[in-house]
Amino acid sequence: MAEKKDKTLGEFGYTKRIVVAVLVVLLFVFIYFIRHVFIYLTFAALLAYIIAVPTDFLAKRFRFPRTAATLVSLFAMLLLIAGFGFLVMPPILEEFNLLIKGLPEVLTSLENYINAQIQAYGKGSTAFTVQSWLDQVFTKLQENLPAVAGTALTTGVGVVNTVSNAAVGAVFVPIMSYYFVKDSAKFRRSFELIIPAKSRPLISNALQKISASLGGYVRGQILLCLIVGITSTLGLMILDVKYAFVLGLVAGVMEVIPMVGPVLGLIPAAIIAFTTSPLLAFKVVVLYLIIQAAENFFLAPRIRGSSMNMHPITVIISMMIGARVMGGVGMFLALPVAAVIKTVYYIYLETRGLENGEIAMEELASAKESG
């Protein structure tokens, strides 16, 4: 009788796991179909994580009402962003215009260098010219004009949609962030009401760990982007590299993309420096390597802590999935989503440890070490 009961319980647990897996898959399918709305919700949640800390500080330290504390934190953050834009954007836009005007000079310098290499190592080869390459491009465009026109129309519509979506997001993201922070306790209580009473402590623990992991990642990543952007700009200015503000902005923005972001930030800086001299390009590469070494070995462990301690393979796969589902935005959102999944998995292992003893806890320790 006892064996039959154990067998029934085992079958029930197996069925429950299948149901949970199917629900998770359906959830991801649903998110894919509403991915544009999901992007707004995600950015609103990220902004909420940023302003949650000052909101809690004002509410606890100075006894501000929750509504007032949230409004003050939100407006302060928006003013800070706007003020930073007014201070930084004018020199960046000026340098960007100079970069556009100086682009022919950059191409000519690259053309001269390539031709010098052809003459040195490729005797009898045809000289490379940017103009001949452009002529080939225009010939191909004329041959494929109908297809190009269709693609251009599609791209134009896509640009209009992107601009309109950005405008909608600029309005609704701060509003949603405000309610996420102001009514966070209400959301938590409402969510707990639909959970069985015996599971509420576990779910509450999971939500707290997910919130701490995401909050640490978001705030740490923003701080790292600022540090990398500012130090890159200052370093390029010291080396007297052209368009230092634009290149520093690129380096800071690319920092949000793990692993490949620093390389993407380095490439334009190295090319611009190379048009002045190969030695300057070498100095720029060394500068970026020093900044990345300081970030990886000193700044990131202290700023991020262990909130995003994931194996490089996990990072790469997460970014590939995010890029495939949502493009560039998906690459940015991939790691926070992966962090949530990782935290949920750890809590599942901890739950197994409570039920099954030391074996599951050894699995937990092994999973955390492999990260």
13, 50: one domain: no
pLDDT for 182: 92
For residue 227, give both structure tokens. 């540090």
Same domain (yes/no): 14, 71: no
251 shares a domain with 157: no
* Dihedral, CA of residue 355, residue 356, residue 358 and residue 362, to nearest 10: -90
172 and 225 in a single domain? The answer is no
Q: What are phi and psi of 282, to 5 degrees?
A: -60, -45
Q: Are residues 82 and 46 in the same domain?
A: yes
Same structural domain for residues 42 and 176?
A: yes
Q: Is residue 160 part of a domain?
A: yes
219's tokens: 């705030």
- In a domain, residue 147? The reply is yes
Domain count across the chain: 3
pLDDT at 155: 47
Classify residue 364: in a domain, yes or no: no
**How many whole angstroms separate alpha carbon 157 and alpha carbon 163?**
10
Give the up-direction half-sphere exposure of residue 258: CA atoms within 13 A in the CB hemisphere.
27
Under 8 Å between Cβ of 21 and 154: no
Helices (H), 125-199: 130-143, 145-182, 184-193
Collect all residues with Cβ–Cβ distance below 8 Å to 127 and sequence separation of at least 6. 115, 118, 119
For residue 361, what pLDDT is reported? 44
Instruction: Identify the DSSP state of 127.
Output: P
Return the pLDDT at 240.
94
Q: In the chain, which residues have pLDDT < 50?
A: 9, 148-149, 152-153, 155-156, 159, 355-364
Boundary-marking domain end, from 281, 303, 325? 303
- 74 and 170 together in one domain: yes
337 falls within a domain: no
pLDDT at 357: 42
* Cα-Cα end-to-end distance for the chain: 43
Residue 242 structure tokens? 């052209």
Angle at 66 between CA 60 and CA 71, to 5 degrees: 115
**Closest C-alpha among 207, 258, 268 to residue 232:** 268
Could you list the residue range(s) of the whole structural domain that residue 24 is in?
1-33
Residue at a domain's end among 303, 320, 337: 303
CB neighbour list of residue 120: distance below 8 Å, 6 or more residues apart = none
Which residue is it, tokens 């589902």? Answer: 325
Are residue 7 and residue 77 in the same domain, yes or no?
A: no
7, part of any domain: yes
Cα–Cα distances in angstroms (integers) from residue 206 to residues 101, 172, 182, 184, 335, in the given order: 54, 28, 21, 16, 18
Query: Do residues 142 and 269 both lie within one domain?
Result: no
pLDDT at 358: 45
Record the pTM: 0.72
Residue 353 identity (one-letter amino acid) = G
Q: Are residue 20 and residue 150 in the same domain, yes or no?
A: no
Same domain, yes or no: 253 and 294: yes
Q: Please report whether residue 313 resides in a domain.
A: no
- Check whether residue 168 and residue 251 sit in a common domain: no
Please state, in angstroms and rounded to a whole number, the distance separating the CA atoms of residues 179 and 40: 14
Structural domain ending residue among the three candidates 303, 331, 363? 303
Which helix or strand (DSSP H or E) is residue 129 part of?
Answer: none
Residue 149 resides in a domain? yes
Say if 118 falls within a structural domain. Answer: no
